[in-house]
Structures are given as structure tokens and as C-alpha cells.
Structure 1
Amino acid sequence: MPESPGRDNHDKLTAHKLICVAMLALLLAYNAFCHFWPNEFQLGWPADRRELIRSVLYGIAIVLFPFTNLLRHVLLRLNQTMPGPKPAAARYLVTIAVTQGLIEWVGLFGFGMFLIGDGYNTLYIFSLMAALGVYLHRPKAEEYQRIVAELTRKTP
């Protein structure tokens, strides 16, 4: 039986929101780790090598944002059109998990750069970019309701 669109659907997004909270908690954990043990784990790679890696990672992060947005769009459309008994909440959970997981890589880039010897500035830039990505790709009730409405419409 398909889910009906309505106000009670907000409760069905709890797991989706917890994924976002977990991603933000990971970002905070990376930053806390770097502040509590700033010198013990830094490898101190040469500046020219770090600069090249940082530039490549910035490029990947810049490409990752529109790619994740496109992937989210495709997944949302698939959530509405793919046949099968899977409920809307489960379909939407996959979309949120995939997009949040991709964006979390941006935060890992900052953590990795810090570990090889970059400073807090790089860590903060990547962390803020990742936090922005978590916000942009958070679960949205209207997206979920569109999935529910489309699945309800298609059910005989």
C-alpha cells in the first residue's frame, strides 16, 4: 500500500535527518581531532607537494558539488518512476545517503590535507564547503511528498 501524502510524512524523514547529523558530527570530529592533536599526526610533507595535492582536491571538490546535485536530481526522478514495492521513505533514504556520502568526501579532503602538513585554513575551507553541501543536500519534505504523490498516482 503506497504512503499517502500528508503532514505525518515529516516523521518518516527522521532517519534521513540523522544521516545529515552524522555527517556534521564527522566534520566536527575531524576538526576536534586536528585541534587536540595538531602535531602528533602531521606528516610535514614539503609545501610544493602539498600545494599540488591541495589544488587537485579543490578541483575535485568544485566538480563534486554540481555532480552531486545532478546525481540527486537523477535519483529523485528514479525514486518517482522506478517500479517496485519499496516505500517512498526507503527510496528517499538511499538518495540522501548517497548525496551526503559524496559531500562528506570534501570534509575528508581537509582532514587529509591537515594530516600531510597543511594548516587550519585548508581544514576550515574544506570543512565549511562540506557543511554547506550537507545543508544543500539535506532532506526536504516537499521532495519526499512529490515522491509519495507520484508513487500513489501510479498505484492501480
Structure 2
Amino acid sequence: MTFENYFDMAVKTFRSMAVGIFLYPLFVALTESFDLNLHYFLARPTVETMGIVFIVISVVFFPLSNALLPLLSRKCGHSCDLGKKLMIASVITAGMAETIALFGLVIYIVSADVRFFYLFFVLSLVHLFMHRPKMEFWQRHLDIMSRD
């Protein structure tokens, strides 16, 4: 496979995961019609602690995504190797964005407060937008690799 093919695969994967994130609000809308009342079975401090832990993990995902690419693209011998590693990094960062949205869904289910879901959902969209695959970015890494 060529470098461009890996980029195309990363973009297609990114788009499918971006669409998948929008299924979570649909699930929230459906569960709003059912009163699950799971928050009655959990102590309020437990839910608050869980929310704080999820927020910290979500915030840590941002710099982790930035550090992931240089870590994976180290010691690439060929442009196809670089394309494969950049594609893997793109899929992992999109997975991190999806995980943030999933955190929001879990917090919503256990707290019955839809505001928490939308907080994590917006964080997920910001993460997804910031770390989308960009050809200029990929090309810059390819140019740096070819100079070395």
C-alpha cells in the first residue's frame, strides 16, 4: 500500500467513527423516555468521584494524542511504514475521542443528568476535530523523514 492509501484509510475510519459518536445522543434521547433511575442505587459521592476521574482522563487524552504521533513515527524506514504508523495513530486518537463520549454516556446513565453527557460529548467533538487526519500534517512528517 502507498502512503496516500494509508491516508485515505485513516480518513475513512475517522469519518465512520465521527458518525458513530453521534449515535450516543440518540441513545440518550431514547433513554430519556424510560426512567431507569439508576442514580437511586449509587451514592452521590460515588457518582461525583466517577465524574471527576472521567474528566481527568478526558483532559489527559488531549496531550496523550499529541505525544502518540511522534512516539509511533519514530524509526520509520520507508514511507509506507510511516503511512501505516500515522494511520494507526489516527485510529487510536479517534478511539480516544469515542471513549470520551462513552464516558459521558456512562455518567449520564448513573447520574440521570443530561448536562454531564453533553459536556463529554462536546469534549469528544473538540478532540475529534483537533486530531483529524490532515494531509499537510502527514506530508510534513514524510518530508522530515525523507530529509533524515
TM range (shorter): 0.7 to 0.9
User: What is the SS of the residue equivalent to 2:111?
Assistant: coil
In structure 2, what is the Cα distance between the partners aligned to 1:23 and 1:142? 21
Question: Which amino acid in the other structure matches residue 19 of structure 1?
Answer: T
The answer as to whether partners of 2:65 and 2:93 remain within 8 angstroms in 1 is yes
* Residues 1:126 and 2:120 are matched in the alignment: yes
Question: Which amino acid in the other structure matches residue 95 of structure 1?
Answer: A
* Residues 1:68 and 2:62 are matched in the alignment: no
Shift of 1:139: 0.6
Counterpart in the other structure of 1:116: 110
Counterpart in the other structure of 1:48: 45
The answer as to whether partners of 1:72 and 1:99 remain within 8 angstroms in 2 is no
Shift of 1:123: 0.4
Unaligned runs of 5+ in 2: none
Counterpart in the other structure of 2:96: 102
Question: What is the CA RMSD across the aligned residues, in angstroms?
Answer: 2.6
Identity %: 21
Structure of greater relative contact order (alpha carbons < 8 Å, 6+ residues apart):
1
Question: Which amino acid in the other structure matches residue 140 of structure 1?
Answer: K
Paired residues, what number? Answer: 145
TM-score by structure 2 length? 0.81
Which segment is superposed worse, 29-38 or 45-54? 45-54
In structure 2, what is the Cα distance between the partners aligned to 1:19 and 1:94? 10
Counterpart in the other structure of 1:58: 55
User: What is the SS of the residue equivalent to 2:22?
Assistant: helix
In structure 2, what is the Cα distance between the partners aligned to 1:66 and 1:146? 20
Shift of 1:132: 0.5
